[in-house]
Structure 1
Amino acid sequence: MKNDIQESRMITLAAPAGGLASGAGVVIGNLFGIAARTVLVGEQVAISTEGVYELPKLASAVIAAGARVSGTIPPSRSTCRRRVLFPVGTAIEAAGNGIATVRVRLDGVSTAAA
């Protein structure tokens, strides 16, 4: 296609204030993704907006398989519809109390505060 710019799974953007670590979740505007590499603020970085990733969550949160998952800004913890957060995807398996991570299928669509 003449108008094809890039694959939609990986989007290249400038890193926000503080930069990004490889594997870190980030919201830039209304776009949530996982950083492909570690970069400093302003550097170009590819972020994955689709796929399944293991994300940190509040150890006390109980998330059922198939539940919507939201992340904080910066998305250092994820939880299921309990606070005003940014929706990022769907849990592909349950993650109960005491578990520090949840496996999430990213939606790949724009997000906004829930």
Structure 2
Amino acid sequence: MKNYVQPGENITITATAAATSGQGVLVGNLFGIAAGNAEIGDSLDLVTVGVFDMPKVSTDVLAVGDFVYWDDTAKLATADDDTGNNELIGLAVTAAGNPSGTVNVRLNG
């Protein structure tokens, strides 16, 4: 197939903000987990598929299969879509209660 570019599990972008390995990164509607550290203007590989242990809003309650959103201001996973202002990033694959600081999320890719 002549128009095939890549599988898409990892996308290389130009960092628009400093990022550290393992941190969630949102660029437009593209969300992924930083595969390494980067400064503004550096190339940054984002992992866009898989299951990741992610920091979350500690008071949020998530059940397995619940939608998970990204609060880009707080840099946290959340159960709240904030009236469409938070980006849908995946599904919870573990339950996470109040209080808890993390949840396992399967990214939408």
Q: What TM-score do the two structures reach when normalised by structure 1? A: 0.87
Q: Secondary structure at the match of 2:75?
A: coil
Identity of aligned residues (%): 40
Q: Specify the alignment match of 1:7 in structure 2.
A: 7
Task: In structure 2, list runs of 5 or more residues that go unmatched.
Answer: none
Q: Can you give the 5+ residue segments of structure 1 that lack an aligned partner in the other structure?
A: 109-114
> Match for residue 98 of structure 1?
99
In 1, the alpha carbon distance for the partners of 2:63 and 2:75 equals 20
Aligned with 2:4: secondary structure?
A: coil
Cα-Cα RMSD: 1.4
- The range that moved more, 80-89 or 55-64, is 80-89
Partner of 1:16: 16
TM-score under structure 2 normalisation?
0.90
In structure 2, the CA distance between the partners of 1:45 and 1:82, relative to structure 1 (3 Å rule), is closer
- Higher mean displacement: 95-104 or 3-12: 3-12
Aligned residue type for 2:30: L
Write out the 4+ residue segments of structure 1 that deviate beyond 6 Å after TM superposition: none
Q: How many aligned residue pairs are there?
A: 107
